[in-house]
Amino acid sequence: MTVRSVIRHADWTISTDREPGASGPLYEVECTTCQESSDATEGPTPPEDWALRHTGRNPGHRSYRAIITSFLRVIPAPGNPWHREAR
């Protein structure tokens, strides 16, 4: 039995997913004192409000980590054999 493999380099691009129906960024805030976190939402205001309420209940908790999740899509670049199928 002969094993044959083909290894080919092809260019791809990666960018923010702008396909119809793709999710926009998600925003979340995490307290760096106790690691509690807000829910992830499609806008920054609810997590920021959560942080203000959290500090109101826990006056010593004043440092937060902003977590923003973006969604990416990889597509074949021109010259890639998959490029025509990606349209």
**Dihedral sign from CA coordinates of 51, 52, 56, 60:** positive
Number of domains into which the chain is organized: 1
Flag whether 65 is in a domain: yes
Instruction: Give the chain's length.
Output: 87
Flag whether 87 is in a domain: no
Flag whether 6 is in a domain: no
In this prediction, residue 17 carries a pLDDT of 95
In this prediction, residue 33 carries a pLDDT of 98
User: Using alpha carbons only, how large is the chain's radius of gyration in Å?
Assistant: 22
In this prediction, residue 4 carries a pLDDT of 66
Flag whether 41 is in a domain: yes
In this prediction, residue 35 carries a pLDDT of 98
Flag whether 16 is in a domain: no
In this prediction, residue 62 carries a pLDDT of 98
Q: Which residues of the chain have pLDDT under 50?
A: none
pTM (predicted TM-score):
0.73
Flag whether 29 is in a domain: yes
Q: Which domain holds residue 39?
A: 24-76
